Structures are given as C-alpha cells and as structure tokens.
Structure 1
C-alpha cells in the first residue's frame, strides 16, 4: 500500500501562538479608541464637523482685495499687502467671531479687462465681499459683483461708480472730496491754480471737482493741464505752467498735480524747469500723490515739498489714532516694504477691514454669505473707526445725497501742509465737503 507516512506524535512540530508586534497592538488600540469616540459622538447627537470648518463649527470667510501692482502707472501694492497683514492679525486673535479670515488678492493690471477678470474670479471663489481695493474701472468690476450680490466695501474712491452702485459701501469721499477739498484749500491761499491731471476718462472729471472747491472759496476756475498717466518726464506740462503770465494777484500762483505714483515725477521735472529760470509757483497735491514717505525720501525740510499744500481724507499719519494700524503692520507685515502706514491706500484698506469685521460679527452665523453682509450693511450697521472717520453707516437716511455721488456717507477732508519736513494739519478740520459736492 502506497501513501504518505505520518509522523509519530513525538516528531510533529508544535505550533505556538505568535505574539502580536507592539506596533500592531498599538494600532488596534488606536482604532478601537477612535471607533468608540465616533460612536459616542454619533449617539450623543454631536455628529462630525463639515469639511472646512473650525473647531467651533464656524466656516472660514473669504474676501478679495485688488489693486494694480506692476503696471508702471498708478500702482497700489500696499493695499493687497495690508489686507494680508490684517488677515494674519485677525487669525492670530481667533478670527472674526470664530471665522478664519481668508484673503485673496488680484492685480487688475490698471485696465478694464483685468478689473473684470478680478471681479469674475471673486464670483467664482464665492467671496463674501471685495474689501479695501483700488481700480479705475468701476463699470468693469461692479457689474459682475452686482450680479452675484457681492458688496464692495471701502474702495479707494477713484471712480464715480463707487458712489452710485447699491452694492458699494465707501468709507471716504474718494477723489471727488479730495479734489473739491484741494480747491477750497488752494482757493484760500493761491492767486491762480493749475491742475496737472491724467489724460484719462477718470482724469477728465477732476477739473470740475477742483473748480467746485475754488468757487466756494471765491477763486477763479483752474487752468487744466492734461498729462500722460505713465510718462517718465513732464517737461511740456511743467513749462506750460511756468511760462504762463503771472495772475497779478497778491497771492502766489499754485500748481496741484494729481497723477498718483507719477506725481513725484512731475514735481521733479517741475523743480528742474523752475531752477532753470522759471518763476516761483507754489506746489500742491492730494494725499496719495504726496505723503510723508515721499517727503522723507526727497530731503524732508530741505526737499522740494517743504511748504507744499496737501489735502487728505484722514488725520496725518503721525496721529495717535493710527496706532492700532501701525501695531498690526509692525507685528504682522514683518519686513514687507509695500506696506507704508502713511499711504492713503493702506489707510483705506485698514478702515475697510474694520467695517468687514463688524459686519461679519453682526451676522453671527456659522456660515456667512455675501448676501448676509449686504443685508447687515443696508440694515444700519454703525461703524466707529476711532476718530479716523465720522461714524460710518449706509442706511438711506445716512447718505449725504451729494450730486453724482448718492452713496457718499463721509465727505470729510483734512488740510495739511509740509512744515519742517512733516505733514502737519492746518486749521481746525476736518472740513465737510457735502455742500461743495452737492452744488449745482
């Protein structure tokens, strides 16, 4: 008989139970513990948090800040950079009412196509607001925002559409208040005023605004001097001002330049032309064209801006009311030299984010939508800015009804002059330009 021979019992191997490796035992323990915790949570009615929420169940809020950054013309890179610093500060402090703040930035390229592209991206990203931004192309960016019910909070105010759109919530008087205020300031100091401004659609509206302020001060209309927005020198414009016959007034003639980042380029050309034998003409501008950092860079009290007249929206940069903003910049902007606390764009972004923080906290919901923010702002949210602006509120009865600027809620400006190398407030101020902007 053939077959396998079995081993005697004594010869058979005895299998001993293997001991689990320590790592495998630990994994089983962790899995069991996790399953137990999940079961307890579900049976206790707690459930799991939705993806993208914080530990307290509140979803992040996403906003966008845009500005031209690398165009070589009127760039405002400090505004998106300030927005990112604010986000770091807010999130380090626990967010806005428990919501993490996410800030998207966009370079609008200083053209209508880029502005529209930034707005469409804001819609795609489902932002709850566009905050503290700059663009010269209001028609291009506001239409997509309006269609998606996305509020535009604290724009720089360079376009008229920012003061007409029902989705826009301005925090300052924009270019309109600055130019009208500059006219009133210069009307009290100057014999005749020359206005050097961009030869653009936005620039075409500036002479009328300046003249409104001049008229209120009892002065004659300005002399309009259009100029290329991104020129490297302005010899033709400087010579036109200096070649004009004196006005015959006991007051000096003045030239005010409103060319954004190119304002200093004009005044550098103007200074050289004047040094070659041109007559004495006082210089002036608005904040954004001339600020403290520019005065410092060009020699302070010994530089060309000593004695210049400047109109701004807010208190001077050295005012103690800016201390909270300066602290955030110091602690959360790190060494980002784009963020200049004396820059009007940076200051506007700071104030705009104060409005956003108040609006999101007022919604008091786990998930905040753009429509929620829109509703809160329309329902009478009142925002105090520590004296940097009047109280801000956008109910119908709070709108100042300024001509061509129906959404205006803050028409205050400050008059400043450069004394001993420092921008210094002049007069009692602030000055309310509501009546000037509401004139015929």
Structure 2
C-alpha cells in the first residue's frame, strides 16, 4: 500500500502503465490523464463573500453555492485541470467586515473574488485593486462594482432594474406611485423609473420617499395607493430589505374598491420572500417584478439545479430561486471560461483580468446575454460605465410563483442612458 492508502500496481504492470501514461501525455500535452480528480496543474484559490446571521439582509446561499460549485468542478477533474479551492467569508453587512474579507482574500492568495454580495464597495474595492485581484460577478449593489477597472459585473445592478420596471409598468399602468428610500441614493431611483415609463409613453411616477428603516409603512402605503389613481393604477416599491414591511402595511389597508396592482424589483422581492409571505394568498400575488435573469422554472437553470442536488448535500441555505445563488452560479461560469482560456499559462490575478479585458466572450447558457468586458462592450452610463449586461426580464407572480410575463431579455440601455443624461 502507498502512503495515501492506494495499492501499488504489480511490477509486471508497470511498463504497460508507463506506456499508457506516455501516450496520454503526448495526446493531451500534460503529464496526467485528462479528467483526473484534482487535475495536474496548480490549484486555483478564489473567494466568495456575503453577509450571514445579521439583522439586515443575509445571503448565506451565495458562499454555499460557491462551495457546491467547487465540489462539482473537482469531481470532474477540476477546471481545466486546476483544483478549485473556494474560500468563504462573512462580511456581516458592515464596511469593517467587507474590508476584513478583502484582506483575507489577499492574505490567502485568492486570484479572484467571485459571485459575492456586499453593499460596501468603498470598503473592499481599494484593497482588491491594490493587489490587482479582479471582482467577478458581484450582486450589483455598490457603485464601485460598476466603476472599478477590476470589476466584471454580470448584471446591470439596481439601475437596470428600475429602468426596466418603468418599461414593464408602462404597458399596464395608467398611473404609478414609487415608494423608495428617503436617501441620497434613493433620490435617483425616481429618475430611473421615469426613464422607462416615458419610453413607454406614460406619465412620470409619483415620487414617495420613505424611511428605509421603518418598522411599518401604513401612512406611506395609504398615500401610495391614493396617488396611483382610480383606474389601472400601480404601486411599485424598491426599499430593499424593508420592501416586505411596506407591502405588509399595504395589505392591511382597508379596501376602497379599487384594483391597484403592486410591483417591485429583484432584490427587493424574490421567490423566497413570496413564499415567506403567503405565496398565492400573500400580498405579492399578481405583482409585476423586474429581474435580471430568467424565472426559476426556466430549463436553462437545470445544470445549476443538478449541481445543487448532487453536491450541496441537502444544504438548506441554497435556494435555486434566490437571485444571489443564481448570480454566484453565473459568476463561476465566467471563472470557468476564463481558466479554460488561460490554458497552460500560470493563473494569476493579473492574467485573469487581462484575459477578460482582451474581450473573452462568455456564454452563460442563455441565463444572460453573452458577456464581454471590452471597452466598446460597455454601456458607458455616467456613474456606471462598466455595465455590459443591460438586459432585464419581466416576471409576474401567478399562483404564488414568479413566472415569465414576457419571453427573452428586454434591453433597457436606452432608458438608463436617458436617465443619466437628463
């Protein structure tokens, strides 16, 4: 027996085994059989971070999905022969936590941060930039994700969702009320929604700022419904983690006989939230939702679902309908394509960034439009110049499930540019 527990081959088989290995080496250009577990090249270390166990937004499914992806990849011989090592970090929804995760990524030799969630871009991006570590497929929360030369976003962030929500509602609503945070960042959401509404030749939305940390929103809900008008009115809300509180207050309003539709965007409302709030009997039944990706029942998600089934070992942190889990899957799809493109060269943070900058095209299996991060592929929206994916999907809640309202992606690039230049 060898030191790792494997039985040594008999000496009579050694010449034959050596011949097979030599032949395999000549055919594959490397010293190991293709597909051997762990591969024959140096391991590749990456990091995925997200908040967990906090009083605010928690996204534990993202690092759990990253770990499941690594188990899947390594069971198939790694990525292009590289064992994939995934570090995870809880960024605690704080700037201090995000900065600590970034320092850990540098300290432990991560060549990229992949498929992560943090709203504290200012706290982590400078550390990554100093170490030349690319940030691939962030959730799309911070401005730095769309401005840093080392960030490679896979979606258009909240700006694309608000512009798309305006376009989605323009087809169905005569009058729209927007409930959004009463913050500097929230001030701009009104312009984004209006850019989509006006492209659909609808009047501007009524702007209703609201406290982002309120426990209930009864007065705001009543005002939003009143301003939605008497016929084909809609109320949309983008309050992040507080969106559920708003719609709970909205549901409790006494009936006034009007049929006002509700709406929101991915990140404020998703399938797990619809499930938690009563499904088909909850406040989101019939709601219009603008998302980044196809709905969770779309067959294009089957490879991800199979990976979860076979390699997550019943980990209940991973919900395939969660937008964070989906973003992490897409981000690791990008990483796999990059490592395959690098081939025999050494995998370093700089080489990953250079490969992406030179125009590598990434096919995500139809989960996004084809991704590419050359300068000419970027939308160039002021404040968000690195957006390369300005497609969104229109969904609706039917019988408690988020399903497609229309097929394919809707390009909101024009609406985003109009909002930023108005």
Give TM-score scaled by structure 2 length: 0.85
Tell me whether 1:151 sits opposite 2:131 in the alignment.
no
Matches within 5 A, 1:246-265: 247=229, 250-252=231-233, 254-265=234-245
Structure 2: gaps spanning 5 or more residues: 1-7, 12-36
Tell me whether 1:434 sits opposite 2:417 in the alignment.
no
Give a deviation string over 1:322-341, Cα, whole Å, max 9, x none: 00000111111122222111
Matches within 5 A, 1:7-406: 57-242=40-225, 244-245=226-227, 247=229, 250-252=231-233, 254-274=234-254, 280-365=259-344, 367-406=346-385
Q: Which has the larger radius of gyration?
A: 1
Whether the 8 Å CA contact 1:110–1:135 is kept in 2: the answer is: yes
Query: Judging changes above 3 Å, is the alpha-carbon distance between structure 1 residues 235 and 320 closer, same or farther for their aligned structure 2 residues?
Result: same
Aligned residue number for residue 12 of structure 1: none
C-alpha separation in 2, matches of 1:176 and 1:195: 14
Whether the 8 Å CA contact 2:48–2:114 is kept in 1: the answer is: yes
C-alpha separation in 1, matches of 2:370 and 2:153: 12
Local SS of the residue matching 2:216: coil
C-alpha separation in 2, matches of 1:273 and 1:178: 27
C-alpha separation in 1, matches of 2:52 and 2:181: 18
Query: Judging changes above 3 Å, is the alpha-carbon distance between structure 1 residues 111 and 226 closer, same or farther for their aligned structure 2 residues?
Result: farther
Give TM-score scaled by structure 1 length: 0.82
Local SS of the residue matching 2:88: strand
TM-superposed CA distance for 1:55, in Å, is 7.4
Local SS of the residue matching 2:235: strand
Local SS of the residue matching 2:253: helix
Q: Identify the match of residue 403 of structure 2 among 424, 428, 435.
A: 424
TM-superposed CA distance for 1:259, in Å, is 2.8
TM-superposed CA distance for 1:89, in Å, is 1.0
Whether the 8 Å CA contact 2:38–2:81 is kept in 1: the answer is: no
4+ residue segments displaced more than 6 Å? none
TM-superposed CA distance for 1:316, in Å, is 0.8
Give a deviation string over 1:122-166, Cα, whole Å, max 9, x none: 122221111111111222211111111110101111122211111
Local SS of the residue matching 2:252: helix
C-alpha separation in 1, matches of 2:257 and 2:208: 17
Whether the 8 Å CA contact 2:176–2:228 is kept in 1: the answer is: no
Aligned residue number for residue 15 of structure 2: none
Structure 1: gaps spanning 5 or more residues: 1-29, 34-53
Query: Judging changes above 3 Å, is the alpha-carbon distance between structure 1 residues 236 and 80 closer, same or farther for their aligned structure 2 residues?
Result: farther
Whether the 8 Å CA contact 2:279–2:400 is kept in 1: the answer is: yes
C-alpha separation in 2, matches of 1:201 and 1:77: 28
Q: How many residues align?
A: 389
TM-superposed CA distance for 1:272, in Å, is 1.1
Root-mean-square deviation over aligned CA pairs: 2.7
C-alpha separation in 2, matches of 1:387 and 1:228: 38
Whether the 8 Å CA contact 1:403–1:437 is kept in 2: the answer is: no
Whether the 8 Å CA contact 1:290–1:310 is kept in 2: the answer is: yes
